[in-house]
Amino acid sequence: MSLDQLNLKIVFGGGLELLFSNQRSHNISIPSRVNSKLYNGETTTTEEQNIKSFSRRPGILVLINDTDWELEGEGDYVLNDGDEIVLISTLHGG
């Protein structure tokens, strides 16, 4: 395994899977270094802006390794290889 890559398991729930080929679980590899411009909100492309607006939208519960990401320090949490991230939408409420 390359140290430059992180293997993550992303699980979508609450209907979010509809946006990702109706598949709830995805195993992905991402670069271990995040684009600092994106992290600091200095977005340039439309795609980056979309990611930024999605990530900051309320109504989505985030669990990191089955634990509320608020307990993990939210944005301060440093992803590790093999982490499981669960995103559950509550937009379709009642």
Partner 1 sequence: MSCSTTDNDHVMTRRRRFAPKGICVKCKTNRGRIIIRHAAYCKECFEPVLMAKFRGILDPTINCSEQGLSVRGSLQAPGNLLIGFSGGVGSTVLVDLVKCCYLAPVIPGGPKGGKKHPRKTGRPWNKIFICYIDCSACYDVDDRTDEVKTAFENFDENVFEFVPLHLEACFENGQVIVDLTNEGLPLTSGLASSSDPQTSLKNYLGSLPTPSSRESSINTLIRLLLLRTARSRDCSHVLMGTTLTGLSVNLITSVASGSGFTVGLEKGEDWKSHDSQIIRLVLPLREISMKECAAYLHWRNLSVIPNRRILLSPSLSRENVKESIGSLTKGFIYGLERDYPSTVNAIVRTCNKLVSNSTGHGPMQGGIEKWKEHISVRRLEPDGGEDVGRSDLSYLAPHICYACNTTFTSLSSRSTRKTGANGANTQPILMPLWVASNLKIQQQQPMSQSKMEEQIRDFLLE
Interacting residues with partner 1 (CB under 8 A): 13-19, 22, 53, 57-59, 61, 63, 66-68, 70-71, 73, 86, 88-94
**What's the closest the beta carbon of residue 10 comes to partner 1, in angstroms?**
13
Q: How far is the CB of 52 from partner 1 (least distance, A)?
A: 12
CA dihedral 22, 25, 29, 35 (to 10 degrees): 70
Q: 3-state class of 77 per DSSP? A: coil
> In the chain, what's the furthest Cα-to-Cα distance?
44
CB of 22 to partner 1, least distance (A): 8
Output 11 or 38, the one with its CB closest to partner 1. 11
Which CB, 1 or 76, lies closer to partner 1?
76
CA distance 84 to 87: 10
Identity of the residue, 16 or 38, whose beta carbon is nearer to partner 1 in the bound complex: 16
Say if residues 38 and 48 touch (Cβ distance below 8 Å): yes
